[in-house]
Amino acid sequence: MSRSAPQILLPDWPAPPGVHAVVTLRGGGVSQGPYASLNLGIHVGDDRAAVAENRRRLGQALALPAEPAWMEQVHGAEVCALPVRGSLPSADAAIARTAGEVAVVQVADCLPVLFAARAGGAVAAAHAGWRGLAAGVLEATVRALGVPPAQLLAWLGPAIGAAHFEVGAEVRGAFLAQDPAAAAAFLPNSRGRWQCDLVQLARARLRRAGVTALYGDSPCTYADPQRFFSHRRAAPCGRMAALIWLG
């Protein structure tokens, strides 16, 4: 087993005191093969004991106050409010308002977005692939937080970059049907398809929802195999996690 500590990325944003946030990288775990090494996804075909050990190591390294709320993500717009009694619902965003609850989303090209109220007291994590974005997962998270959008901070984490995210006309059409200005996030390529800027789409939708304090340079997961898992680059693969909690 690897003895290195889990590798992490800390958001660069002016979060208020008591807000803790982190995105994991792919190093510092025990998984092997395409899941090497800090795979946190139990659903991708990796050895379950290895994933359990990776999650244990992460919790220990970060001194997490509780086990993260590992939801079943379905590329939709459902928002889960923590704590949840019993099994976690299928959802693509989670909100925590009390200390000791850890909101988490798993990603491997999709965009993780972390939210924090400027005054503290509420945080959220959202999983925004193109389907979730088009379905309104970010707007649903903003509404569910119950904080005036101008009083929210949002940090956009690592995701697949436009140079590597090729999509068909149906994806472009789904966004243009809602906002013609979304055309700026799609560039035609030589194969008759489109290069999609997921981060640009997310930023535009957050601004329209009233969230203007946006942070994060969103490095490309596809272009950096040393640090990031990427489903588009190599499937099957592991999953990283974006976590946020109060404490």
Condensed to tens digits (0 to 9), the pLDDT of residues 185-231 reads: 999 999 999 999 999 999 999 999 999 999 999 999 999 999 999 99
| ∠ Cα 80 82 88 (to 5°) | 60
Question: If 0-12 CB within 10 Å is exposed, 13-18 middle and 19+ buried, where does residue 80 land?
Answer: buried
Q: What is this structure's pTM?
A: 0.97
**Residue 1: pLDDT over 80:** no
Domain ranges of the chain: 8-246
**Mean pLDDT, the chain, integer:** 97
At residue 111 the predicted structure's pLDDT band, cuts being 50, 70 and 90, is very high
Which class does domain 8-246 fall in? alpha beta
pLDDT of 85: 87
- Condensed to tens digits (0 to 9), the pLDDT of residues 2-28 reads 568 999 999 999 999 999 999 999 999
Tokens 């798993």 belong to which residue? 106
- Condensed to tens digits (0 to 9), the pLDDT of residues 135-181 reads 999 999 999 999 999 999 999 999 999 999 999 999 999 999 999 99
Contact partners, residue 92, CB within 8 Å, separation at least 6: 71, 73, 74, 75, 76, 77, 78, 79, 105, 126, 127, 128, 132, 137
pLDDT of 4: 85
